[in-house]
């Protein structure tokens, strides 16, 4: 039986919340220098990259990881992340959300 892989696209706000959660889970690995591409952070960075026009996932991670380390709580991280990412934000179209891989 053939498998069809569907690309799932979450809302921008949900992706940021998930990134905050995985930073908490992967924090020790990231602080020790582990490549974020080899952690649970990667799929969420890929989703966020689709919402942010003109910036690469590596740069998104670098900036958001710094914001996360300096944040003093969930709402602080989310507020700062949204301010920083606002100039790059773009709405992902329904057709893009449901595209097959």
Total-model pTM: 0.79
With beta carbons less than 8 A apart as the criterion, state whether 4 and 12 touch: no
> Is the separation of the CB atoms in 38 and 27 below 8 Å?
no
Q: What is the pLDDT of residue 71?
A: 95
**Residue that the structure tokens 């958001």 belong to:** 64
**Is there a domain that residue 56 lies in?**
yes
Is 26 domain-assigned? Answer: yes
Which has the closest alpha carbon to 63: 74, 52, 29?
52
Segments forming the whole domain that contains residue 49: 12-89
Residue 24 lies in a domain: yes
Q: How many domains does the chain have?
A: 1
**18 lies in a domain?**
yes
| pLDDT single digits (tens) 39-96 | 999 999 999 999 898 899 999 999 999 999 999 988 999 999 999 999 998 876 654 4
Question: For 34-51, how does the pLDDT look when each residue is reduced to its tens digit (9 = 90+)?
Answer: 999 999 999 999 999 998
- Is 99 domain-assigned? no
In a domain, 98, yes or no: no
CA 17 to chain centre: 9
Can you list the pairs that 54-59 forms with residues at least 24 positions away whose Cβ atoms lie under 8 Å?
Answer: 54/88, 55/88
**41 is a domain residue:** yes
pLDDT band at 10 (very low <50, low <70, confident <90, very high): low
């Amino acid at each position: 039986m053939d498998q069809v892989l569907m690309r799932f696209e979450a809302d921008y706000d949900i992706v940021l919340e998930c990134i905050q959660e995985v930073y908490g889970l992967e924090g020790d690995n990231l602080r020790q220098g582990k490549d974020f591409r080899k952690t649970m952070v990667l799929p969420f960075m890929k989703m966020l990259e689709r919402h942010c026009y003109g910036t690469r996932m590596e740069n998104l991670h670098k900036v958001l990881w710094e914001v996360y380390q300096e944040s003093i709580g969930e709402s602080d991280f989310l507020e700062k992340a949204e301010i920083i990412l606002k100039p790059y934000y773009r709405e992902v179209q329904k057709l893009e959300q449901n595209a097959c891989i």
